[in-house]
Amino acid sequence: MTKKLFVQAISKFVTGLVLIALLLFLPAGTICYWNGWLLIGILFIPMLTAGIVMLLRNPELLEKRLKAKESEGEQKTVIVLSGVMFFAAFVVAGLNYRFGWIVMPRWTVIAAAIVFLAAYLMYAEVLRENTYLSRTVEIQKHQKVIDTGFYGIVRHPMYSATVFLFLSMGLVLGSPISFAILICYLPIIAKRIRNEEEVLAQGLEGYAEYRDKVKYKVIPLIW
């Protein structure tokens, strides 16, 4: 662990926290938007915990994820589209609370929060199973195909986790409109997966055979 890595990690964490808080509470017109605080809690407390664990046990993985920068042009488009999607979903959620467009039952919000946390746990397990996971589409030195655990069920379990994470966000925020906006994640991630599989099939030994062996990409029997 280095001081530079620690400062970089904390800076990105705080920047993300402040940005999401602004996108939620400014449109809501109040800091008493309890759904916003709920999302911030279930999003950033596990994120901070995971960051501390990586910082202490695997600083190389943390550094790799912090410094990740896409080189694939198609993936840059995916990042831009994702950013627009999240911006719209968070702002609309705040406005929905402010003007009371649609009020969701509290049990729905709590159920969505449970799904969110379960998906977070899945994401953490996938990170444990595959130390080659990167935020960018690339072939890493000495990388090999992982076909155990969740990778024996679907080819992209990290995206499986993010599908449930992102789709549950709108419901945690109490906004069905935001949920509808976040459904746009499905075609966006499909675009990313298509490009990623092309890169892996061309550059990662054994991936083509693995793709034939594990039929489903994200959700068993469906996708």
Q: Contact 154/218 with Cβ under 8 angstroms?
A: yes
pLDDT of residue 217: 95
Q: Contact 173/93 with Cβ under 8 angstroms?
A: yes
Average pLDDT, the chain: 89
> In the predicted model, what is the mean pLDDT of residues 118-142?
78
Question: 205-216 pLDDT, tens per residue?
Answer: 899 899 999 999
Q: Contact 91/23 with Cβ under 8 angstroms?
A: yes
Backbone angles phi, psi at 30, to 5 degrees: -165, 155
Distances (CA, A) of 56 to 43, 66, 148: 21, 15, 26
pLDDT of residue 138: 62
Tokens of 185: 């994640």
Question: 141-194 pLDDT, tens per residue?
Answer: 667 888 999 999 999 999 999 999 999 999 999 999 999 999 999 999 998 999
> What are the sequence ranges of the domains in the chain?
3-213
CATH architecture of 3-213: Up-down Bundle (1.20)
Give the C-alpha separation, 10 to 14, whole Å.
6
| Three-class secondary structure of residue 6 per DSSP | helix
Produce one character per residue of 196-205: b if its CB has 16 or more CB atoms within 10 Å, e if not.
bbebbeeebe
Give the C-alpha separation, 165 to 41, whole Å.
14
Give the confidence band of 136 by pLDDT, cuts at 50, 70, 90: low
Question: 68-115 pLDDT, tens per residue?
Answer: 555 555 677 888 999 999 999 999 999 999 999 999 999 999 999 999
Question: 4-42 pLDDT, tens per residue?
Answer: 787 888 899 999 999 999 999 999 999 999 999 999 999
Element (H, E) at 42: helix 34-57
Determine how many CB atoms are found less than 10 A away from the CB of residue 113: 19
